[in-house]
Amino acid sequence: MAALAPLAASAGQPSQAPAQATQFVTQTDRLIVRYKDADTNAARGIAAGAISTARQALLARAGQTFGATLSALRATVNGANVLKLSRSMTLVEAKQLAAELMARDPDVQYAEPDRIMVPLATPNDPSYSQQWDLFEAKGGINVAAAWDKSTGSGVNVAVIDTGYRPHADLAGQILAGYDFISDTTIANDGSGRDTDASDPGDWAPAGSCGAGVPAMDTLSSWHGTHVAGTIAAKTNNGVGVAGIAYNARIVPARVLGRCGGYTSDIADAIAWASGGTVANVPAAPYKARVLNLSLGGSGACDTTTQNAINGARSRGAVVVVAAGNANVDAGSTSPANCAGVIAVAAVGRSGGKASYSNYGSVVDVAAPGGDSSGGGILSTLNGGNTTPAADTYAYYQGTSMAAPHVAGVAALMLSANPNLTPDEVEAKLKSTARAFPAACSGCGAGIVDAAAAVNAALGTSATTTPSTPTWTACASEGGTCSFSGIREVRYGSGTTFVSKTVNGSVACTNAVFGDPTPNVVKSCSYSSVTVTPTWTACADENGTCAFSGTREVRYGAGATYVSRVFTGSTACSNAVFGDPVPNVVKACSYSSITQ
């Protein structure tokens, strides 16, 4: 078992000053609705009163479902109608009303809430102006432009690190965690594994970790607290710094102490934090969708760590890892060289490679880590040299600081679209990363861009609107509707229908769909939009995967798996599926599509 260590170096402290808060508006009393025949009249603008009586009746019925009436206010320049609601509602409810209207009226091209915009948020945290890594054009991640779409709500991020210290800027942000350090000397808290993930300090006297290691006395790093602050420090609270995903929550898993931490403890923490089962450890009360590992050691990725990562990914967790600080090829640093992780290099304030950062083909993206010429990354810390003392803040440098920037952005993405798989998160981070403004060879796809990544997670860009599907008649009642791929199929008559998502073909019958319009001849039509299934982790190897209906189930690890179709449940085992990846821990997941 190799001992792994945090990947950071420190410097200085900031001053503080008051500022004003920015509030977002999360309600609206208007919808924007565009009808398909608006194209022919867009040039002259459609008068609000031009909505026909039949359309007004459908508007009324949709509004009744939500206890509201809708009245036409005016037309937009492209021929859409602005509709006034009789009451204000949340954006979530307004989106549901828009969807109800589209379902009732096939002549609607699109419907959406008329959102109230405000000047782009700048947090009132007094040290935000010193957090160049969040907003500067060269080395920053453009996070402010993402905050009107996602702040990380509903997403838990595991910080697998030195534990945490209570801090005013992390109040309410820390969930129940676990101390996985099994060696009492490393733990430095007088005990082994327990439910207290707080950090007692990792200071080490000279020679306490082996002959000449460390060469001199070292102070406590409070490394996990710094990482946690970058990800989710409270924001708009008038205190300290701003976190990237400030409405996400932190699940602390303590694995690093005096002299580092063992691979076996770290692997257990990876499994536990992602919802896996660890012997003699209570189940995690809060499952994490993102795991941050700002730690590393030399050598190839070991099987223990790779199996833990495979299991975490099968349960839907995104694994973000620091690339290392030795200015060498990250292919020689674990766990950055493990399969399935997002390995993160560091850039300085100029947007070029930080002098210490590892590089190479295993690196996926880069993020701010700071450097000596432009300054470090400011975050939460404790002021104790050895044991805990008062809250403070400090600038650190390292790929340890770069990784939580990516973990925070991943949390923003998953909050915006919880259905994203780990592979989809990685692909979108890479495809939206911006080009390096200075030299950064071997630093991956580019510098992570939070706003662009959240837009990609939502399936939108800053200037486009998702298209509305068209429907193709495919079968009369009693016939077979055939098409390519997985699509939504409607069954009914006129504007009254039921729908199912199916693969390839389906019988156009009451037996399959039910009878939405009794005593009326019905037919089927399929959508122009193909559906990509999402996958839900359901069991570890030798467990039971249970679900509703008939679905495809995958069994394997990472991108290697076999699949079969089952109804209701199946054993997740080699006996049922065969063994697609021998000597690796496998897991099962089921498709979102019923068959």
Looking at 62, 94, 113, the residue that finishes a domain is 113
Position 371 in a domain: yes
Most distant pair of Cα atoms in the chain: their distance? 88
Q: For residue 578, count other CB atoms closer than 10 A to its CB.
A: 11
162, 231: one domain:
yes
- The type of residue at 180 is F
DSSP string, 74-117: EE-TTS-EEEEEEEEEEHHHHHHHHHHHHHH-TTEEEEEE-PPP
- Spatial contact of 545 and 532, defined as CB atoms under 8 Å apart: no
Query: Would 198 be classed as within a structural domain?
Result: yes
Q: Which two tokens stand for residue 377?
A: 């990354």
481 and 575 inside one domain: no
Q: Letter for the amino acid at 375? A: G
Range of the domain at 55: 27-113
Q: Is the dihedral of CA 208, 212, 218, 220 positive or negative?
A: negative
Q: Are residue 546 and residue 502 in the same domain, yes or no?
A: no
d(CA 237, CA 169): 8
Please state whether beta strands 108-113 and 27-35 pair in parallel, antiparallel, or not at all (unpaired): antiparallel
- Is residue 138 a part of any domain in this protein? yes
Which one from 114, 125, 133, 161 is the annotated catalytic residue? Answer: 161
Instruction: Give me the half-sphere count of Cα atoms (radius 13 Å) on the Cβ side of residue 14.
Output: 23
Amino acid identity for residue 224 in this structure:
G
Q: What is the DSSP letter of 307?
A: H
Nearby residues of 371 by Cβ (< 8 Å), 6 or more positions away: 346, 348, 349, 354, 355, 356, 397
Q: Spot the catalytic one: 294, 379, 400, 589.
A: 400
Tokens 């790929």 belong to which residue?
399
Q: Are residues 426 and 543 in the same domain?
A: no
Q: What CATH number is given to the structural domain containing 53?
A: 3.30.70
Q: Is 413 among the domain residues?
A: yes
For residue 44, how many other CB atoms are within 10 A of its CB? 9
End-to-end CA distance of the chain: 46
**Does residue 464 form part of some domain?**
no
Please tell me whether residues 165 and 225 are part of one structural domain.
Answer: yes
CATH number at residue 384: 3.40.50.200
HSE-CB at 100 with a 13 A cutoff on CA atoms is 19
Instruction: State which amino acid sits at residue 138.
Output: K
Amino acid at 257: G
Q: Is residue 151 in some structural domain?
A: yes
Strand partners, 392: 381
CA dist 71 and 81 (Å) reads 10
Q: Phi-psi category of 25—alpha, beta or left, where left has phi over 0 and alpha has psi -120 to 50?
A: beta
Residue 350 sits in the same domain as residue 222? yes
| Same-domain check for residues 201 and 331 | yes
Main-chain phi, psi angles of 4, to 5 degrees: -110, 155
Helix (H) or strand (E) holding 574: helix 574-577
Examine residue 463 and state whether it is found in any structural domain, yes or no.
no
In a domain, 152, yes or no: yes
Name which of 143, 105, 115, 111 is nearest 24 in CA terms: 115
What is the H or E stretch that residue 489 is in? strand 480-493
Token pair belonging to 497? 């229908």
- Of all helices (H) and strands (E), which one includes residue 401? helix 399-416
User: From CA 252, how far away is CA 160, in angstroms rounded?
Assistant: 6
Q: Name the catalytic one among 223, 364, 415, 589.
A: 223
Rounded to a whole number of angstroms, the CA Rg of the chain reads 27
Taking the C-alpha atoms of residue 242 and residue 223, their distance in angstroms, rounded to an integer, is 17
| Tokens matching residue 235 | 């924001």
* Amino acid at the residue 212: G
pLDDT confidence of residue 145: 92
CA distance linking residue 320 with residue 342, whole number of Å? 5
DSSP-based three-state secondary structure for 571:
strand
Claim to verify: residue 95 and residue 145 sit in the same structural domain: no
Question: In angstroms, rounded to a whole number, what is the distance separating the alpha carbons of residues 173 and 191?
Answer: 25
Determine the Cα–Cα distance for residues 357 and 375; give it in Å rounded to an integer: 15
Handedness of CA 418, 422, 428, 434 (dihedral sign): positive
Say if residue 434 is in the same domain as residue 363.
yes
pLDDT tens string, the chain, 595 residues long: the values are 455 667 664 433 333 222 222 233 356 787 878 888 876 553 344 444 468 888 989 999 999 989 999 988 777 545 678 788 899 888 789 889 999 999 999 998 888 777 543 232 344 667 888 999 999 999 999 999 999 899 999 999 999 999 999 999 999 999 999 999 988 989 999 898 999 999 999 999 998 888 788 889 989 999 999 999 999 999 989 999 999 999 999 999 999 999 888 888 898 999 999 999 988 899 999 999 999 999 988 888 888 889 899 999 999 999 999 999 989 999 989 999 999 999 999 999 999 999 999 999 999 999 999 988 888 999 999 999 999 999 999 999 999 999 999 999 999 999 999 999 999 999 999 999 999 999 999 999 999 999 999 999 998 544 333 446 788 889 899 998 888 777 888 888 887 777 787 777 889 998 888 888 888 889 988 888 877 777 777 878 888 888 777 788 888 876 677 778 888 889 989 899 888 777 777 888 888 776 6
Q: How many CB atoms lie within 10 A of CB 492?
A: 20
400 catalytic? Reply is: yes
Among 530, 560, 580, the domain boundary falls at 530
On whether both 103 and 246 belong to a single domain, the answer is no
Structural domain total, the chain: 4
Structure-block tokens of residue 549? 């209906």
Identify the CA nearest to 433 among candidates 212, 141, 153: 141
Looking up tokens 């939206």 gives 432
CA-CA distance, 378 to 355, in Å (whole number)?
19
Q: Are residues 16 and 43 in the same domain?
A: no
Query: Is the CB of residue 281 less than 8 Å from the CB of residue 241?
Result: no
Residue 185 shares a structural domain with residue 101: no
Domain boundary among 508, 530, 552: 530
Nearest one of 527, 344, 352 to 444, comparing CA atoms? 344
